[in-house]
Structure 1
């Protein structure tokens, strides 16, 4: 296939998509109607699962060097700690929340793209498009008013919550707008407040979240009760200080605001992420409460999921049927994120005093149970995301229960690799499946599978059991596993999974 992929939208989602495709040799264009990259902090955190995805892309280090590591989350009732979880309990090579303003995330992704020879075409707007079954055609308008009509192999809608492409498809964006106003302020804070932890205060008057950005700079988020008449004016520093005095854990003083805003929470999602040659990604497909800070991360993981499949199909190494798995896999994840974020928000903004007391007692008691704290850490850090019910997940005879088919494949040292890779993530960087033999001889691949898979080996660990072969997807999820003596069955299932181009 020689026609490029068109990516509409150069936020974190579109930039990640472009980077992942280009690393696999896919021709592409990435456009954005804005004349310049956003200078707003917006999304603030990269969670461990997203950092693992960037590690597979070979570019995680610049993000780590630029961001700040937060290693804890605490929920307070006035001045008492209800629950305190340590993010360094995350079962990942990146056991922390990496605090990084979205403007920096976009800058770093754009720099990675530039190293690959790709540059964002700015001030270029997608005006209309058509899906002609064999190609997708897009009409683009440039800064000087001129227009072009060009054919593409596929179109990726990474153009945000007000997606032109989603509107053009006339796709329902089902959900609700929550009936409450919220305040956001990025300010400098003086006072006794840890800058390596996220602090959430539950008070009778509402919730206050204090999210570290860098040094003494924090994001302050607070609910303001029921929605009032739309107030377009930005919050004042006096209003921010008043909320800190009323709800904050200690005497805090706010100054030097960088960005203040009011907002309302939308919880919406499309049913289908794929429409022929057009794919909806990130906020174009789902938007939800900022609780948990997983919106941007979910969008970036959407396109990592899509990119390896699209690359295989674009190069003619797999049947286009492989792309059918994108929507069911990511739609299920979107529903999970919506549900979790919505629940966290509703629990935090309870107004009934009796329900507040019950909530605080329950959370305080449950927070003392280590197993439940680990569940919360796994959910926040996104290492619990899975594809158990994916069409690409196969349950073979004698499948390993750990990690089970559909679950995340933890990184670990490997050996017997032709490329010289020393870790699983390095093996997956080539965009192929990895056949991982654990404490067993590596298997020999038939020639027909060498374009889509590679073999490697490792020794048994707490995560991987001896005597098994694991088929690891390019996005580091287990597709299937079985005992080594069943390797021919596994190879046959892999061939059936990708089909023939």
Structure 2
């Protein structure tokens, strides 16, 4: 069997990649060794930027309809509020955090993928692969004991923190495991005011984070002590353990009932140096794992594949140089590096045990969160709207007007997302005029046929299929546009 892309792993990251490739018309196959989707809540939050990117495939509204919108985060110290972040001021069509259990996210994504004519091959495991330089020969194992050889142009490992693809590539997972034990509970709470809020509580003996999921249902995360060995197996918590933590750290006397899922974990912070190995790529937890503080992990992985998919599609369809794929790791690796640093710092701040350190933390946080610019910065950071590829090899030189190359291009009300449906195309934002004939003759398959209204009248912008700015120039500077596509996209050389 031959295919253009073989996706290993059908979690949220693999399913997102499959949807993106399917809508771009890339022949592919997606496999997973598990017999069925997860039934656990696991990754819980979808942030604004992820929903913006998923809107291109028209799946976002399905997710929003199934989830619960959270518009604020309250931070408290010793049960007293010291600051609040709001999401409703975000300049996005999705100014909220969408709370949706991973089990539902996977269900919706898989149903959407099925509607695109693609089925997940379950109980199929990757055993090995051989990269010849021209193709990849993959050996698969089926549940009935049979084996299968698949020839694919490209292999993408979306197979989680224990990635087989990463292991076969021989890539080291740099990082460490924290020796702090954590409790996780997906439970129902009684006697809690129902408000659309995430609550982060710093207490003298630890942190307690509560995330609303649905009516009276919450995710509880709390640190419960230091471990002596990273190899010691953690016992599963009981409902009584959860209640003990709530009694000490949660304001208002909430009562825990009806546990949906109880688990313990330790935080791993690890990352590969390079997301590519020949014709194989890594994405999501296969490439990076972080502290769950901030709920950035799944979102980072889904955004990995939104970055990779359009590039892969252009190469498969022969519309761009294969050198385009060399930009995937340089763009996405720094994003994960930043997430590791931020979530690591948040975790360190939240788990301070020293009394003086706690007092200093609480006072400093109260001052910072009292400043409007700081709150705006934090909200944009949480919603992942501040992610940019400032040093990308895909950026045209020069910064004529904002948004500059590498920055997120805003989507205005009543405006369809860039690259929404069909083959990957770049959008042109400029004065209402026809794209020059010679530009259309040379690069018409790469361009949306109509010029969109400019962000400001003096400018001309090229925006990538994933909604990031590629070029910013003076109005009417079509030569800059032509040079960009000639050198960067079709030849793969720097401007």
| TM-score where L is the length of structure 1 | 0.94
CA–CA distance in structure 2, aligned partners of residues 217 and 489 of structure 1:
54
- Secondary structure of the residue aligned to 1:235 is coil
Equivalent position of 1:480 in the other structure = 471
Q: Is the CA contact (8 Å cut-off) linking 2:194 and 2:216 kept in structure 1?
A: no
Q: What are the Cα deviations for residues 58-108 of structure 1, in whole angstroms up to 9, with x where unaligned? A: 221111110010010010012321110111111101000010000000000
In the alignment, what sits opposite 1:260? 262
Give the match for residue 417 of structure 1: none
Equivalent residues in 2 for 1:60-209, closer than 5 Å = 60-209=60-209
CA contact (8 A) 1:183 1:261 kept: yes
Alignment check: 8 A CA contact 2:419 2:427 kept: no
Query: Is 1:30–2:30 an aligned residue pair?
Result: yes
- TM-aligned CA deviation for residue 394 of structure 1: 1.6
- Structure 1 range deviating more: 449-458 or 172-181: 449-458
Aligned-residue offset at 1:231: 4.6
| Mapped partners of 2:194, 2:271: distance in 1 | 35
Q: Tell me how far apart the structure 1 counterparts of residues 181 and 419 of structure 2 sit (CA, whole Å).
A: 47
Classify the secondary structure of the residue corresponding to 2:15: helix
Q: Does residue 423 in structure 1 map to residue 424 in structure 2?
A: no
Whole-angstrom distance in 1 between the partners of 2:200 and 2:423: 40
Tell me the distance in 2 between the aligned counterparts of 1:323 and 1:231: 40
Q: SS where residue 162 of structure 1 aligns?
A: coil
**What is the alpha-carbon root mean square deviation over aligned residues?**
1.5
- How much does 1:191 deviate? 1.8
Query: Are the equivalent residues in 1 in contact too, given 2:4–2:316 (CA < 8 A)?
Result: no
Q: Cα distance, 1:439 vs. partner?
A: 4.1
Separation in structure 1 between the aligned mates of residue 182 and residue 295 of structure 2, nearest angstrom = 15
Distance 2:174 2:451 in 1: 46
2 CA distance for matches of 1:491 and 1:455?
15
Contact 1:435 1:469 in 2 (8 A): no
Hey, what does 1:212 align to over in structure 2? 212
Q: How does 1:7-18 map to 2 (within 5 A)?
A: 7-18=7-18
- In structure 2, how many angstroms separate the alpha carbons of the residues matched to 1:428 and 1:304? 12
- Aligned-pair CA distance for 1:440: 4.4
Alpha-carbon distance in 2 for matches of 1:457, 1:48? 26
Aligned to 1:450: 444
Contact 1:18 1:30 in 2 (8 A): yes
Instruction: Indicate the residue corresponding to 1:493 in structure 2.
Output: 484
Per-residue CA deviation, residues 391-432 of structure 1 (Å, 9 max, x unaligned), is: 001223x621x212111111125xxxxxxxx62406543343
Q: Which residue of 2 aligns with 1:392?
A: 394
Distance of 1:483 and 1:169 partners within structure 2: 45
Contact kept, 8 Å, 1:432 with 1:454, in 2: the verdict is: no
Partner Cα distance (1:410, 1:20) in 2: 21
Q: Report the 3-state secondary structure (helix = DSSP H, G, I; strand = E; otherwise coil) of the residue aligned with 2:352.
A: coil
1:432 aligned counterpart, secondary structure:
coil
User: Contact conserved, 1:127 with 1:139, CA < 8 A, in 2?
Assistant: yes
CA distance, structure 2, for counterparts of residue 494 and residue 433 of structure 1? 12
Structure 1 residue 367: Cα displacement: 0.6
1:419 is matched with none
Maintained 8 Å contact 1:180/1:227: yes
CA distance in 1, matches of 2:424, 2:120: 27
- Separation in 1, partners of 2:267, 2:395: 34
Q: CA deviation at 1:455?
A: 4.3
1: CA distance, partners of 2:136 / 2:97: 39
How much has 1:485 moved relative to structure 2?
A: 3.1
SS in 2 for 1:331: helix
Counterpart in 2 of 1:362? Answer: 364
- TM-aligned CA deviation for residue 470 of structure 1: 0.8
Moved more, 16-25 or 387-396: 387-396
Look up the SS of the partner of 2:417 in the other structure: helix
Query: After TM superposition, what 4+ stretches of structure 1 lie above 4 angstroms from structure 2?
Result: none
What is the rounded CA distance, in whole Å, between the counterparts of 1:206 and 1:186 in structure 2?
Answer: 19
Per-residue deviation, residues 357-392 of structure 1 (Å, max 9, x unmatched):
011001001111001000000000000000000000
Asked if 2 retains the 8 angstrom alpha-carbon contact of 1:436 and 1:442, the reply is no
Residues in 2 aligned to 1:357 and 1:233: alpha-carbon distance in whole angstroms: 32
User: Comparing 34-43 with 446-455, which one deviates more in the overlay?
Assistant: 446-455
Distance 1:9 1:3 in 2: 16
Q: Find the aligned partners of 1:240 and 1:228 in 2 and give their Cα distance.
A: 22
Structure 1 residues 458 and 309, CA gap change in structure 2 (3 angstroms): closer
Give 1:250 shift: 1.6
Contiguous gaps of at least 5 residues in structure 2: none
Aligned length: 487
